[in-house]
Structure 1
């Protein structure tokens, strides 16, 4: 499994009205071969830690050709500052369990 880690700093006012754009992006993301899911953590003040999980680094790289333009169209207009790539790498341990409450 491969992870891509980012900090996204959103403009809270723009984010509040962006439900449709976020749903469209999530659906596009989920449709990419090898995409396993996303963990998003609200850090407050519009900042989100985002971890995208992929079957492999090759799948993540291939997804960029579709997701890059979608980020520019759907996500970038909502940001207060450019998305910050923290890093990418192989997941060496995970004990994620499904959230039965959602």
Structure 2
């Protein structure tokens, strides 16, 4: 269900962007660091939006790396604890089988 909702939102954004681009074809004069030029308004907005998305994605990377590291640590801890539980269960089974009193 979540995947369908994501695809529906993506389709809505794509259709809206297409409609926006089709009605905003007039050229806009822009000055940037290395020069100046004319660019259709729709292209300018798409480029600026793309740059913004790239900056947002780059800003989110450290958090994703940190969560991945924490997840790997938690999984290693879980494996260690599972191994410890198996060892204790084996010791308890051995004690029960030998008739020794439980601690």
TM-score, with length taken from structure 1: 0.22
| Greater C-alpha radius of gyration | 2
- Structure with the greater relative contact order (CA < 8 A, sep ≥ 6): 1 or 2? 1
Structure with more helix by fraction: 2
Q: Which structure dedicates a bigger proportion of its chain to strand?
A: 1
